[in-house]
Chains A and B, each alone.
Chain A
Amino acid sequence: MSVGQQPPQIDSPEIRRLAPVIEPGHTYGTVTDKISAIVLTRPASLGWFAGFTLAFCVVMMLTIALAWLITKGVGIWGINIPIGWGFAIVNFVWWIGIGHAGTLISAILFLLNQKWRTSINRFAEAMTLFAVACAGIFPLIHTGRPWMAYYMFPYPSTMGLWPQFRSPLIWDVFAVSTYGTVSLLFWFVGLIPDLATLRDRAVTKPKQIIYGMLALGWRGSARHWHRYQSAYLLLAGLATPLVLSVHTVVSFDFAIAIVPGWHTTIFPPYFVAGAIYSGFAMVLTIAIPLRKAYDLEDFITMRHLENMAMVMLATGLIVAYGYLFEFFMARYSGNKFDMFLVDQRLHGPYRYFYFALILCNILTPQLLWFQKIRTNVVALFIMSLVVNVGMWLERFVIVVISLTRDFMPSAWGRYSATFWDYATFAGTIGLFVMLLFLFVRVLPAISIAEMRELVAETSEEHP
């Protein structure tokens, strides 16, 4: 797009239909130059250093929190009996959910042949990996003895001990580790051609060697592309049911138990929808500053932001349906414990969390019905933060209210998080942000090869 050219008028439906997924005027050379320059030639800005330093300090807080935890044990947290699952599980579910949007964008939208996924899939996949890494920390440290975590994997031990495969917690181990592995493979396979581009464009020896090793000697041969495309399509096909299964299995951690408010069949679909909801919110949270900071408005266009906002609205409505049906089923079942739990959500000691959850997850996102909001970058950014908070509150409400109010009043309790709970949670956010900062500097944040393909396709449509 040349300087001074008018941006397309967004409010006309006819023009909006044609709103481009890539601004016109780009060639194979310009997309390659523009994206690879962020990694190879553009010096790190002051803003990058400031952001990275801040995130790095928060990661140091995480290491202190973890070191103190390992020294003293889980007693430094707010967990107690009956609330054995505190922040650790809330944060685990929240992070895993955020990861889901990355896989959805890279796999499901790929299978559906949605061209607009191209410029956002790479960093969304990176986001998935980093979110899974943050999520993985929590169950590990929640075991209390993280150095014994290998007990959860089936291995021939001298004790003759094997895991209990009927337990949802073991399903979780397999689901999350498979998810992490497949996401990494998918991401890496997508990166191979771009790593070759970086290898060929790098001017310094260390960069040539490092990118050269990572590129595995890729040279763009037609035979290679032929098999590459098969493998990529198959990976997309495999990742699609996988991503749906992961949050289903996470919801089984709750739904298989008989605790009121957890033991419902609506949990798997409503967890998956919630995961995609929070994930898209996080993609927006990252995409909006990223396109601004690295002048990527040509590639991450208004169309992308608006589409993501619409996915958020749709999944948000599914989540709202889930909340509604929790209430309905509690009433309809006539089960007094379920009905009491509903009452506790509205009138119990944690009611403000519930009200805040409804405000963040159900009421505020209704603004996305208005196109003015969907095409307003600042409003979308704020909305994405609100939804992230809302989805965290949802998991807090599910975990804490049910555990503090189960069958016997003598077993009721209260939960409040301690400084170390907050420090660990904030620390993982710092880790996530730090990894993202590193990622945009060392790897192409947008798939260059796929952008070239997009240039080829759009030039055929408008010759």
Chain B
Amino acid sequence: MIEHRSHLYGVVGEFASEHQLLHAAEQTRGAGYRRIEAYAPFPVEGLSEALGLKRNKVPLITLIGGLTGGLGGFFFQYWVNVIAYPLNIGGRSLNSWPAFIPVTFELTVLGAALSAVFGMLALNGLPQPYHPLFNVQRFAKHATSDCFFLCIEARDKKFHLAEASRFLQALGASHITEVRDD
């Protein structure tokens, strides 16, 4: 048997609707569990608050990316058309900044969009092809279509396998399963 070598990730319970999940998340957090995670096939309104999630850093990363793109874009054009390769077109000033605005704008949007997407993925730790929860058959089959899951993770200070399972059962969860990393 290899079971004794496998590592316990947590215990997961299944809920039939987003309302039950929301309620369960609130109760679990209220009971003092901190390392919990809810899984839903679509973004459930109020779930972030129920889990006590703070504001995320995606907007800040996007702002920094946009500013970098915009400022970098403008001064790059300045450097190219004024310093590196000055072209005298009808005696117009070399730093003809209004003509640099379209490209500056486009690069602002490009920088912001790239940082929004890659920032979101990086903060989420994606791509991550393997996760212990994928070992749970019901989860792998239904988490992305029609069921809702709540997982109490083993790294929670309060975690005790039997207690956590009983707690989930009391909340009305079905198919309560240990999640093992093997």
Interface of A with B (CB < 8 Å)?
Answer: 27-29, 32, 36, 154, 160-166, 168, 170-171, 174-175, 178, 181-182, 185-186, 188-189, 193, 196-197, 199-201, 212-213, 216-231, 234-235, 238-239, 241-242, 245, 249, 252, 448-450, 452-453, 456
Residues of B within 8 A of A231 (CB): 58, 62, 116-117, 119-120
| Contact call A217/B42, Cβ cutoff below 8 A | no
Residues of A within 8 A of B110 (CB): 178, 181-182
**B27: shortest Cβ distance to chain A, in Å?**
15
What are 18 sample pairs from A and B whose C-beta atoms fall under 8 A apart?
A: A36-B145, A163-B80, A170-B103, A175-B102, A185-B113, A188-B117, A212-B129, A216-B121, A217-B131, A222-B48, A222-B51, A225-B42, A226-B53, A230-B58, A234-B112, A242-B106, A453-B42, A453-B43
| Contact call B81/A174, Cβ cutoff below 8 A | no
| B71 within 8 Å of A (CB atoms) | no
Nearest residue in A to B74 (C-beta to C-beta)?
A: A165
Residues of B within 8 A of A162 (CB): 80-81, 84-85
| Contact call B124/A196, Cβ cutoff below 8 A | no
| Contact call B113/A182, Cβ cutoff below 8 A | yes
Q: Which of A163, A170, A249, A456 has the most CB atoms of chain B within a 10 A radius of its CB?
A: A456
- B44-67: which residues lie under 8 A (CB-CB) from chain A? 44, 47-48, 51, 53, 56, 58-59, 62, 66
| In the complex with contacts A165-B80, A226-B48, A230-B56, A200-B43 CB distance below 8 A | no
| Contact call B129/A217, Cβ cutoff below 8 A | yes
CA distance A161 to B110 in the complex (A): 24
Residues of A within 8 A of B105 (CB): 241, 245
| Contact call A154/B80, Cβ cutoff below 8 A | yes
Residues of A within 8 A of B139 (CB): 219
In-complex Cβ contact of A220 among B25, B41, B129 (8 A) = B41
| Contact call A27/B146, Cβ cutoff below 8 A | yes
| Contact call A222/B102, Cβ cutoff below 8 A | no
In-complex Cβ contact of A165 among B43, B100, B113, B127 (8 A) = B100
Residues of B within 8 A of A453 (CB): 42-43
| Contact call B140/A200, Cβ cutoff below 8 A | yes
Contact with A along B82-96 (1 / 0, CB 8 A): 001101010000001
| Contact call A227/B124, Cβ cutoff below 8 A | yes
Residues of B within 8 A of A178 (CB): 106-107, 109-110
The dominant DSSP class at the B interface is helix
| Contact call B130/A217, Cβ cutoff below 8 A | yes
| Contact call B81/A449, Cβ cutoff below 8 A | no
Nearest residue in A to B16 (C-beta to C-beta)?
A: A28
| B141 within 8 Å of A (CB atoms) | yes
In-complex Cβ contact of B103 among A36, A174, A193 (8 A) = A174
CA distance A29 to B142 in the complex (A): 9
In-complex Cβ contact of A171 among B38, B51, B87, B103 (8 A) = B103
**A39: shortest Cβ distance to chain B, in Å?**
14
| Contact call B113/A200, Cβ cutoff below 8 A | no
| Contact call A456/B18, Cβ cutoff below 8 A | yes
- The number of A-B residue pairs with CB atoms under 8 Å apart is 194
10 pairs of A and B residues whose beta carbons are closest in the complex: A231-B120, A216-B127, A217-B128, A162-B85, A166-B99, A28-B146, A171-B102, A29-B146, A230-B58, A32-B145
What total of chain B residues lie within 8 Å of the partner, measured CB to CB? Answer: 63
| Contact call B109/A182, Cβ cutoff below 8 A | yes
Nearest residue in A to B83 (C-beta to C-beta)?
A: A162
Nearest residue in A to B21 (C-beta to C-beta)?
A: A222
CA distance A230 to B116 in the complex (A): 9
| In the complex with contacts A213-B129, A230-B56, A164-B144 CB distance below 8 A | no
For the A-B complex with A223-B51, A226-B48 known, give 8 more contacts whose Cβ atoms are closer than 8 Å.
A29-B145, A162-B84, A193-B41, A213-B129, A225-B40, A231-B119, A234-B58, A238-B66
**B126: shortest Cβ distance to chain A, in Å?**
4
Residues of A within 8 A of B77 (CB): 165
| B8 within 8 Å of A (CB atoms) | no
| In the complex with contacts A154-B76, A164-B87, A219-B144 CB distance below 8 A | yes
Residues of B within 8 A of A28 (CB): 41-42, 145-146
| Contact call A197/B144, Cβ cutoff below 8 A | yes
**B106: shortest Cβ distance to chain A, in Å?**
4
Residues of A within 8 A of B129 (CB): 212-213, 216-217
